[in-house]
Amino acid sequence: MKIITKSLIIATTLAIGAQATPLYTKCVACHGTSGEKAALNKSLIIKDMSKADFVSAMKGYKDGSYGKDQKALMKAQVTTLSDAQIEEIASFIVKK
């Protein structure tokens, strides 16, 4: 019984973990599984950004108020994301 309970907890944890990520799936190729890579050797390490900086960068790409020389590329990534979805990705990727 104990073993069954334990594996249920693990399965649930895995399911929740997987659920937190679908919006981030398309970012992995450039930013790494957990935001640990500098995309195209250009971007900041996004997991080390503060949540406020992350969210304002994402919204800035969307409305054109933020970005460096590769900003057109990021604009294409964020145009379809709502503010709520940006918050959701931030909660997954940013630890502080």
Nearer to ligand HEC (CB atom), residue 13 or residue 91? 91
Cβ proximity of 77 and 27 under 8 Å = yes
Cβ proximity of 74 and 61 under 8 Å = yes
Q: Which of residues 27-86 bind ligand HEC (CB under 6 A)?
A: 27, 29-31, 39-40, 42-44, 46, 54, 57-58, 67-71, 73-74, 77
Cβ count within 10 A of residue 8? 10
Positions that interact with ligand HEC (CB under 6 A) = 26-27, 29-31, 39-40, 42-44, 46, 54, 57-58, 67-71, 73-74, 77, 89
